[in-house]
Amino acid sequence: MGAFTGEVTALPPDKSISHRAALIGALSEGVTEITNFSAGFDNQSTLGVLRDAGIVVEQEEIIGAYGRNIRKVVIRSKGLWSFMAPEKPFMCNNSGSTMRMFAGILAAQPFESQLVGDSSLMKRPMKRIAEPLRMMGARIGLSSDGTAPVSICGTKDLKPIEYCLPVPSAQVKSLVAFAALHADGESRIIEPIRSRDHTELMLGLETIDHSDGARVIVIQGRQPLEARPFYIPSDPSAACFIVALGLLGNGSEIIIRDVCLNPTRVEFIPVLTAAGADITIENSRIIGGETIGDILVRSTPGMKPLVISDKVVVAGVIDELPMLAVLSAFSSGEFELHNAEELRTKESDRIDAVVVNLERFGFECEQYPDGFRVIGRRSMPSGEVTIECFDDHRIAMSFFVAFRATGEPAVLSDSGVVGVSFPNFFDIIDSLES
């Protein structure tokens, strides 16, 4: 087992907040300056579709905190209806957030457009975006399987909506909010189980919290948005991989700086500390409406197995589940997950992808429609294991962390896929190995 020690100051800027900053910038009147924008492929896909819709997007490298090169993005727009009909389909590559959130904006523009993606994105469910947009008056076409290409015949006359989210999804919530900004009147989104709330925070939307945990988000349509600057903190979902590396290694101690600690994003920390993980938060403060701080993690041998079944917890760790499962399997030999059918609709079927790869390492697993169980490790692999990445950055990184920290011989089928959200993933891990 390796030891990983040191300070991480170059974690990628948050993917979710980067998407929203670019889209909100394009919806705002004036010049939006975004400091520390993500270089990840997904966020670059969002800039790409905005450019293809005629929005002026500039990107430059500047010197940021810790003397590091960071990206500054400048977006110039005239507001809610500044988008132009494209000459070709909008290419979203691997990015579900780009496709789903941009669809909410396109539904309000008076032209026809089409959204397409790579082979992984073309398989992901899109009925969830068609339903509310059709209720608001846009015409939406999907494939017979309910997937992309998403064809949109937008209208300037979108109707306001009262919409209860059928699945906890911050992407669907955001697309409805972006469409509702253009509608003639007040819209309400009801969220029975809370998902990440960056869109509400960044747009300054009114929210009403109910005692049962549900939240109502109120959007006033046709109010001009004024451009304002955004700063993007480090991505907590990327931090989770470094946390897992620290926990699994032997004698490790890592401090990860300036991470977004929005409570809707860091549920993985209480989940891990309840299992005994040595994680502490330092230097917590609020910047631009988001809580930011440092995460200190130390190796923790003898962590208890994770059992995750509460729907609210599942929604809070939805992107971290592959890493939590792999970490629990390698540290305790066991893991159990229920109520997580959403995991089958991500960049890959993440339930199947984790199970297939754990089995290659000799773990015995059992799959359910909404989860899986790791029963124990029955054998050690006879040679080098190949991890099948399934075009999925989080599958690749979860297993890389496990085999690098434990020193078990393995390789990734496709290491380039990490660039979707964490282009400097391998460099950061190399820099921590002592």
If the CB atoms of residues 247 and 315 are measured against ligand S3P, the closer one turns out to be: 315
Q: What's the token pair of residue 237?
A: 């979902």
Nearer to ligand S3P, 43 or 252 (CB): 43
Nearer to ligand S3P, 317 or 432 (CB): 317
Per-residue CA distances from 242 to 221, 282, 323, 325, 425 (Å): 41, 16, 10, 15, 9
Minimum distance from CB of 77 to ligand S3P (Å)? 21
Return the residue of 28, 109, 113, 171 that touches ligand S3P, per CB under 6 A: 171
Q: What contacts 38, CB < 8 A, 6 or more positions away? A: 12, 13, 14, 15, 18, 71, 232, 235, 421
Q: Is 99 in the site for ligand S3P (CB under 6 A)?
A: no
Show the site string, 174-193: x = touches ligand S3P by CB under 6 A, - = not.
Answer: x-------------------
For the sheet containing 306-308, what is the strand order? Answer: 306-308, 335-337, 371-377, 363-368
Minimum separation from the CB atom of position 386 to ligand S3P (A): 26
232 counts as binding ligand S3P under rule CB under 6 A: no
Q: Binding to ligand S3P by residue 169, rule CB under 6 A?
A: yes
Residue among 197, 319, 336, 392 that touches ligand S3P (CB under 6 A): 319
CB of 415 to ligand S3P, least distance (A): 20
Which residue number, 306 or 317, has a Cβ lying nearer to ligand S3P? 317
Which of 13, 16, 321, 417 touches ligand S3P by CB under 6 A?
Answer: 16
Report 192-221 residues binding ligand S3P (CB under 6 A). 196
Q: Shortest distance, CB of residue 216 to ligand S3P, whole angstroms?
A: 18
Using rule CB under 6 A, residue 235 touches ligand S3P? no
Stretch that binds ligand S3P, among 74-82, 135-143, 168-176, 295-303 (CB under 6 A): 168-176
Q: Given the complex with ligand S3P, which of 260 and 432 has the nearer CB atom? A: 260
To the query of whether residue 319 is one of the catalytic residues in this protein, the response is yes
Partners of 416 in the β-ladder: none
Does 38 interact with ligand S3P (rule: CB under 6 A)? no
Helix axes 393-406, 236-248, angle to 10 degrees: 20
Residue 328 makes contact with ligand S3P by CB under 6 A: no
Q: How many CA atoms lie within 13 A of 412 on its CB side?
A: 22
> Applying CB under 6 A, does 124 fall inside the site for ligand S3P?
no
Q: Min. distance of Cβ 14 from ligand S3P in angstroms?
A: 9
Total residues contacting ligand S3P by CB under 6 A comes to 10
- Is 349 among the residues that bind ligand S3P (CB under 6 A)? no
> Does residue 254 interact with ligand S3P by CB under 6 A?
no
For residues 68 to 97, the per-residue mask of contacts with ligand S3P, x marking binding by CB under 6 A and - elsewhere, is: -----------------------------x
Position among 170, 275, 277, 397 found at the interface with ligand S3P (CB under 6 A)? 170
Q: Does the protein bind ligand S3P through residue 43 (CB under 6 A)?
A: no
Catalytic entry in 235, 319, 349, 392: 319
Shortest gap between Cβ of 262 and ligand S3P (angstroms)? 11
395 makes contact with ligand S3P (CB under 6 A): no
Which chain residues interact with ligand S3P by CB under 6 A? 16, 19, 97, 169-171, 174, 196, 318-319
Catalytic residues: 319
